[in-house]
A and B are shown apart, each in its own frame.
Chain A
Amino acid sequence: MSLLDATSLPVLIVAALAASCCALIGSFLVLRRSALLGDAISHGILPGIVVGFALSGSREIVPMFIGALVAALGTTLLTDLLHRRLRIDGDAAMGVVFTTLFALGVVLLEVYAGRVDLDPGCVLHGQVEYAAIDPASFAILGWTPPRGAVTLGVTLLLDLVFVLLLWKELLITSFDGDLAHSLGIPPGPLHLALMGMTALTTVASFEAVGSILVVAMLIVPAMVATLLTDRLLGVLLAAQGVALASAGLGLWSAQRLDTSVAGMMAVSVGGLLAVAFLLAPGQGWLPRRLRRLSLAIRIAEEDLLGSLYRAEERQAGGGGIERPSGAPPHHPAWLRIGAGLRLRWRAEVVKSDRTLTLTQRGRGRGRRLVRRHRLWENYLSDLLALPASHLHDPAHRIEHFLDEELTRRIEERLDGPERDPHGRAIPAADHEPGEEER
């Protein structure tokens, strides 16, 4: 079975359209930090849908949408009322309102279930699987689209027009409502308009994917997107990508496992969120761990190079000749060993007779490190008038983070000192004869 054969393609189209329009409107809900509102609206409209359905006796979208819109406004206004008049905390008020309305909807559903053809299970889980056997009453270029695709296609178009027309108004009211208000862009009506579009999108998607998936599709793609990018357009596009991917993945896995498409779409989008948490380039867990690890290795390497360089200095000055055999002991053993191996592999140190010796390249790096360390000690003692005994530790930390440019500016500021506060010579910036540049 392929995703593109005659029975699967209509399902895929309906699922993708539903996911796409939910993700588009949902992105704005997430950016406004009103993710819960999406939840509230998509549950709160259930009684409206049932009543609209019962009154019209058909599954046409218009009466259901009117019922849903009334219920959505009811959810918003009731929440506001509880919050303002009874001073119930905003989230709590919303929770009370939408669960109550949803419960009312379930009861109504049972009441009307005998009279009309509306199955509670299909409201919860949708019936995207039937897309292929529920065609529209017309054909485009000889192809009859599934009925759900027509409703959802129109909805997606309306959502797109809404977002494109009101782009700047949505942006400014989401980011800074007070500023919008003082500029004459009223946040209240825009909020209501967004709620209306949420209601429309939810109703249109309900039939295809059910109320549980609507919530997932409103919120989760945008959450994944905010992990991947930090630009508004990027968030909207990435959310679309995630939505389409989860539609495809959901259908594919549902066919493999012979289970509900809507359910597998929700699982897929949840899985994508987990993957993004783990792997997202900027904020993901693994990249963050890797960056920390590579920093730790670099510091251990540099500490080893620095201590070898200092040992050479002492030797040249007639001091002791003992050499450190690895990075200083305050690093854990595996890091010291790893740093030593990496330095040997990069030919910055060589090992003979169980002692490490700097190569020319390693000596350059060690010298630059020691130079940064001693300049910083000078700078600290100049600036903060710290006693000499308090200078080593801060310099030992900062020496790994100063770049050449900053070091040069510190040196200029200090008028190119020759010695550090302990009286040791500060190595020169440019390489000594016979020492190659990095």
Chain B
Amino acid sequence: MSGAPPPAIEVHDLTVSYHAKPVLWDIDVEIPAGQLVGVVGPNGAGKSTLLRAILGLVRPASGWVRIDGEPRRRGRHGCGYVPQRESVDWDFPVDVLDVVLMGTYGNLGWFRRPGRRERERAMHALEQVGMQDLARRQIAELSGGQQQRVFLARALAQDAPVYLMDEPFSGVDAATEAAIFEVLRTLRAAGRTVVVVHHDLQTVEEYFDHVLLLNLRLVAAGPIRDTFTRENLLATYGGRLTLLDEAAEAVRRGSVDTTAWRPPPDGAS
């Protein structure tokens, strides 16, 4: 057991709150290296929040995250991130190549500009997603599927050991979906770990080796065959979460308005 490589991502007892209201409860999970990992759960389950917490974009209320067995580092050995498409302003005055080049900024260090080597890497990434002909296109003139490919190319240019992707398949046609999946398989073949938030339950078994079922808490995690079961899906998507919801609401109320509410002296409520 001691010879096993460290997990690509280790999440320990992670709780994340927005405005004191927890939206992820005590997530404790290890994500094995070199696999395609799906993150599945209903809307508002906290999937995006989990990715953002792993990246360090939101500060957890408690718990910690390790990447490759070490505390999270930024820059060179950081995680590649493909955010949800709506997260940026697509009217920003840059072209496709400029956006993909941004993936290389982390390796450059302060003040240095991307040079020929970075340009070549960006062009290579664009070729991998089949967008090389649109390199000089203004980003406002892209279709939704093309925008998604640009984000993917930007992550590829980043050349990270671990990739976190938030719904890369949303709103793309079948051809683009196949192209994106092909890129994911290439990454896996190169030994990278790819964590993908995914909504289409039909394709989960086909696409992923490993799955995280999430709904405010971790319902199950493990290899697809043992984990992607009917019972687990029911537990993820079924109701029976009202108690957790109410508890979260109570925490929020309690911490905003601590003076108005006091526990009864005898501790019974």
Residues of chain A at the chain B interface (Cβ within 8 Å): 31, 33, 87, 165-169, 171-172, 174-176, 178-185, 226, 229-232, 234-235
Q: Which residues of A contact B92 (CB under 8 A)?
A: 31, 174-175
B114 close to A176 (CB less than 8 A): no
Specify which of B83, B99, B105, B154 lies most central, judged by the most chain A CB atoms within 10 Å of its CB: B105
A235 close to B93 (CB less than 8 A): yes
Complex Cα–Cα for A234 and B93 (A): 9
A168 close to B95 (CB less than 8 A): no
Contact of B57 among A166, A171, A181 (CB under 8 A): A181
Binds A, one of B73-81, B181-189, B224-232: B73-81
A178 close to B81 (CB less than 8 A): yes
A-contacting residues, B110-133, CB 8 Å: 110-114
B106 close to A175 (CB less than 8 A): no
B57 close to A182 (CB less than 8 A): yes
What are 24 A-B contacts with C-beta separation under 8 Å?
Answer: A31-B92, A87-B19, A168-B105, A168-B108, A168-B113, A168-B114, A169-B105, A171-B98, A172-B102, A174-B92, A175-B94, A176-B88, A178-B52, A179-B81, A179-B154, A180-B105, A181-B55, A182-B56, A182-B57, A184-B78, A226-B93, A230-B93, A231-B93, A232-B98
Specify which of B93, B94, B108, B113 lies most central, judged by the most chain A CB atoms within 10 Å of its CB: B93
Complex Cα–Cα for A226 and B92 (A): 9
Q: Which residues of B contact A167 (CB under 8 A)?
A: 113
Q: Quick check: is B158 within 8 A (CB to CB) of the other chain?
A: yes
Complex Cα–Cα for A342 and B83 (A): 52
B87 close to A183 (CB less than 8 A): no
Leading 4 A-B pairs by shortest Cβ distance: A183-B106, A184-B74, A184-B75, A230-B138
A229 close to B75 (CB less than 8 A): no
Complex Cα–Cα for A229 and B57 (A): 33
A179 close to B102 (CB less than 8 A): yes
A183 close to B99 (CB less than 8 A): no
- Cβ proximity bits B149-163 to A, threshold 8 Å, 1 near / 0 not: 000001000100000
Q: Quick check: is B142 within 8 A (CB to CB) of the other chain?
A: no
- Count of CB-CB pairs between chains A and B under 8 Å: 79
A171 close to B111 (CB less than 8 A): no
Q: Which residues of A contact B158 (CB under 8 A)?
A: 183
With A168-B113, A179-B102, A183-B106: A31-B75 Cβ-Cβ less than 8 Å: no
Specify which of B56, B99, B102 lies most central, judged by the most chain A CB atoms within 10 Å of its CB: B102
A232 close to B93 (CB less than 8 A): yes
With A176-B88, A178-B81: A184-B94 Cβ-Cβ less than 8 Å: no
Residue of A nearest to B155 (CB): A179
Query: How many of chain B's residues have a CB under 8 angstroms from any CB in A?
Result: 33
Complex Cα–Cα for A184 and B108 (A): 11
With A178-B57, A179-B83, A230-B140: A185-B106 Cβ-Cβ less than 8 Å: yes
Q: Which residues of B contact A185 (CB under 8 A)?
A: 105-106
Q: Quick check: is B86 within 8 A (CB to CB) of the other chain?
A: no
Contact of A182 among B19, B55, B112 (CB under 8 A): B55
Q: Quick check: is B257 within 8 A (CB to CB) of the other chain?
A: no
Q: Which residues of A contact B88 (CB under 8 A)?
A: 175-176
With A168-B105, A183-B105, A232-B98: A175-B57 Cβ-Cβ less than 8 Å: no
Q: Which residues of A contact B200 (CB under 8 A)?
A: none
Complex Cα–Cα for A126 and B88 (A): 38
Residue of A nearest to B140 (CB): A230
Give A280 Cβ to nearest chain B Cβ, in Å.
Answer: 14
Q: Quick check: is B246 within 8 A (CB to CB) of the other chain?
A: no
Complex Cα–Cα for A210 and B162 (A): 52
Give A263 Cβ to nearest chain B Cβ, in Å.
Answer: 31
A183 close to B75 (CB less than 8 A): yes
Q: Which residues of B contact A231 (CB under 8 A)?
A: 93-95, 138
- Cβ proximity bits B43-85 to A, threshold 8 Å, 1 near / 0 not: 0000000001001110000000000000000110011010100
Residue of B nearest to A232 (CB): B93
Give A170 Cβ to nearest chain B Cβ, in Å.
Answer: 11
Contact of A176 among B83, B93, B106 (CB under 8 A): B83
Residue of B nearest to A185 (CB): B105
Q: Quick check: is B89 within 8 A (CB to CB) of the other chain?
A: yes
Q: Which residues of B contact A184 (CB under 8 A)?
A: 74-75, 78, 106
A169 close to B87 (CB less than 8 A): no
Q: Which residues of B contact A183 (CB under 8 A)?
A: 74-75, 78, 105-106, 158
Supplied contacts A171-B94, A232-B98, 17 more A-B pairs, CB within 8 Å: A169-B110, A171-B98, A172-B105, A175-B94, A176-B88, A178-B57, A178-B87, A179-B81, A181-B55, A182-B55, A183-B74, A184-B75, A184-B78, A226-B93, A230-B138, A230-B140, A232-B94
A176 close to B110 (CB less than 8 A): no
Give B94 Cβ to nearest chain A Cβ, in Å.
Answer: 6
Give B210 Cβ to nearest chain A Cβ, in Å.
Answer: 22
Complex Cα–Cα for A175 and B113 (A): 17
A171 close to B102 (CB less than 8 A): yes
Complex Cα–Cα for A185 and B112 (A): 13
B93 close to A229 (CB less than 8 A): yes
Give A238 Cβ to nearest chain B Cβ, in Å.
Answer: 10
Give A57 Cβ to nearest chain B Cβ, in Å.
Answer: 39
Q: Which residues of A contact B113 (CB under 8 A)?
A: 167-168
Residue of A nearest to B78 (CB): A182
Complex Cα–Cα for A171 and B138 (A): 15
Complex Cα–Cα for A351 and B114 (A): 64
Residue of A nearest to B81 (CB): A182
B108 close to A176 (CB less than 8 A): no
Complex Cα–Cα for A129 and B68 (A): 65
Q: Which residues of A contact B19 (CB under 8 A)?
A: 87
B89 close to A182 (CB less than 8 A): no
Give A241 Cβ to nearest chain B Cβ, in Å.
Answer: 16
Complex Cα–Cα for A183 and B89 (A): 19
Give A421 Cβ to nearest chain B Cβ, in Å.
Answer: 27
Complex Cα–Cα for A183 and B75 (A): 4
Q: Which residues of B contact A171 (CB under 8 A)?
A: 94, 98, 102
Residue of A nearest to B83 (CB): A178
A-contacting residues, B213-245, CB 8 Å: none
Complex Cα–Cα for A233 and B165 (A): 30
Complex Cα–Cα for A180 and B95 (A): 18
Complex Cα–Cα for A221 and B5 (A): 56
Q: Which residues of A contact B57 (CB under 8 A)?
A: 178, 181-182
Give A165 Cβ to nearest chain B Cβ, in Å.
Answer: 5
